[in-house]
A and B are shown apart, each in its own frame.
Chain A
């Protein structure tokens, strides 16, 4: 008998971390293998499911950073009282930490794009001797939109970190401007060998990659994560398909050399 992948399991909410008015991290009980950038289908019976990427994990928990932007997520925010949510997953390939070991690594994240790479960044910022160097560029719209500020402050101690805001009206302790504007100012040891991970909204990823190529990054050293409407997460429903690729199975993390062929 094939395992019934559609049946969600109940998971206890251990903690809720409020980042902004519309972005909370739900720390959920979960024991099992999981990688940064993989996703769970989170459901609230009656309202359906939403794909949420893993923003962190421990031996007995996963962090799901949920943004209140749709029917399901609205309800999760309003009705999470009670102490559990239903989950299935993890799905997708996720980031493989070993791939980046020993490299000079640049992570560029825009907005909620920081969630799927948070655990990856956290791993290397904590174990900094596992990489040659770590550069982080995190961009948000404004001061109110900043996610994981405590982590960012911690990462700053071991990495070369740029926090930037599109609009920085109150002169918050961050730079101003889009992430792309800061890339040329970073001093890399060897740009032609530096590995980059780029995650964020489609436009942000597009322009970031263009900028990286312009300043000397090699295509094959760039990794991206694709945002798609994942519905089943199982390679069945078809919603995430681009060309011959099923983002839920083959992605969401791709080498740019493969990911750039996914055009829609």
Chain B
């Protein structure tokens, strides 16, 4: 069911929704950007319509809501273990763009369908409904069209704001009442999506990937020096899921503490260390290879699904060395095109 609501009436809608839901959306944090005088666009809990930042692309993703940067799993004392409470037990609405809505299915696959189901992920996930933010235009570095994530068909509702009005397509019946309760006009609405990006990628076909050949390929050597192994590409990626366990103990009581999991990056030193001092993928180029292949080959092979990468371009946006992920996909394509003899 479609609705059009004047911008001036949006606050009322948000108030109504907030009676039953937490509302998470991209917000503009003034002056908190990477460089002075720039803003940071990241997720926060909105209280009113003007908190919504639907113009700019968020540099951080919604995944922090589902898998916090640092998450306490349990507390322990000498002989007792107690499961930590969830940081959020209320139902929530999360505003995401199409690429990120596709990213959600990648997170679900790892956390729910890869071997064991994850208790902590599931309990947060069960509380969330997703709202699609329509894309009127493509942003810098986006390549969603080639990754086939530019369009989404399933959402609680969609939102597009233009010419002083907000356009909604509400799919989830339980949410219709909120739209009925404010001054709104019924209409046929479908969310906007982009059909072309400036950035293009060519995806290597899986049957052309011979790991023996591609792992040793010189294309990765460029990254040995260029990449500084900072991990920002992973932390900004909506589909990266890795973590490391950490035990913390309290100063005042050395016998009590907690176990946490914190985000980890396959680009950062220490990721593959094994007890006794071994490590794999010591060169940054090898880590780049590991990441690129995971995003556009391994994941798809394992889950017989889409590629892991959803083409959001954030890793390109945040890399301090201006390393372009889309470029590396194209380089991989070129290297595999003709197979070994090319």
Contacts and interface: CB of A to CB of B under 8 A. Distances in A.
A binds B: yes
Interface of A: 1-8, 10, 43, 45-50, 67, 69-70, 72-73, 86, 202, 227-229, 231-232, 234-239, 241, 243-246, 248-249, 261, 263-264
Interface stretch (B4-12, B51-59, B271-279): B271-279
A238 B215 contact: no
B254 A263 contact: no
Contact of B275 (A2, A69, A245): A69
8 contacts: A2-B122, A45-B76, A47-B247, A48-B247, A237-B244, A239-B264, A246-B114, A263-B215
B243 interface: yes
A127 to B, nearest CB: 32
Q: Is the interface of B mostly helix, strand, loop or mixed?
A: mixed
Interface of B: 73-74, 76, 79, 81, 83, 110-111, 114-120, 122, 211-212, 215, 241-247, 249, 254, 257, 259, 261, 264, 266, 271-278, 280-281, 286, 290, 293-294, 297-299, 301-302
Given A6-B73, A232-B245, A238 B264 contact: yes
Given A7-B74, A241-B294, A246 B245 contact: no
Contacts of B272: 229, 239, 264
Given A229-B273, A236-B243, 10 more contacts: A6-B259, A50-B275, A67-B275, A69-B277, A227-B274, A235-B116, A239-B242, A243-B298, A249-B115, A261-B211
B83 A7 contact: yes
A246 B302 CA distance: 10
Contact of A243 (B73, B117, B293): B293
- Identify the 9 closest CB pairs spanning chains A and B, nearest first: A235-B115, A238-B242, A70-B275, A69-B276, A4-B119, A235-B114, A2-B117, A244-B298, A244-B302
B177 to A, nearest CB: 29
Contacts of B245: 48-49, 231-232, 237
Nearest to A3: B119
Nearest to A70: B275
A229 B274 contact: yes
Contact of A231 (B110, B244, B299): B244
Contacts of A70: 275-276
Contacts, number: 121
Given A2-B117, A6-B119, A229-B274, A237 B261 contact: yes
Q: Which of A2, A49, A202, A227 has the most CB of B within 10 A?
A: A2
Q: Which of A3, A46, A234, A261 has the most CB of B within 10 A?
A: A46
A30 to B, nearest CB: 17
A246 B241 contact: no
Nearest to A260: B212
Q: Which of B273, B274, B294, B301 has the most CB of A within 10 A?
A: B274
A73 B274 CA distance: 12
Nearest to B76: A45
B293 to A, nearest CB: 7
A4 B274 contact: no
A235 B110 contact: yes
Contact of B120 (A6, A8, A237): A6
Nearest to B286: A264
Contacts of B278: 202, 227
Given A6-B120, A48-B246, A237 B264 contact: yes
Q: Which of A69, A227, A243 has the most CB of B within 10 A?
A: A243
Nearest to B258: A45
Contacts of B110: 235-236
Contacts of B281: 264
Contacts of B271: 239
A4 B115 contact: no
A234 B116 contact: yes
Nearest to B209: A243
B122 to A, nearest CB: 5
Contacts of B83: 4, 7
A46 B281 CA distance: 29
Contact of A246 (B74, B115, B261, B266): B115
A7 B120 CA distance: 11
Contact of B247 (A5, A6, A46, A237): A46
A49 to B, nearest CB: 6
Q: Which of A43, A239, A245 has the most CB of B within 10 A?
A: A239
Nearest to A228: B274
Contacts of A237: 242-245, 261, 264
Nearest to B79: A10
Contacts of B246: 48
A119 to B, nearest CB: 21
A236 B257 contact: no
A7 B82 CA distance: 9
A71 to B, nearest CB: 9
B114 A5 contact: no
Contacts of A243: 211, 293, 298
A145 B66 CA distance: 47
A172 to B, nearest CB: 24
B234 to A, nearest CB: 10
A1 B120 CA distance: 11
Contacts of B117: 2-3
B114 A249 contact: yes
Nearest to A112: B276
A236 B81 contact: no
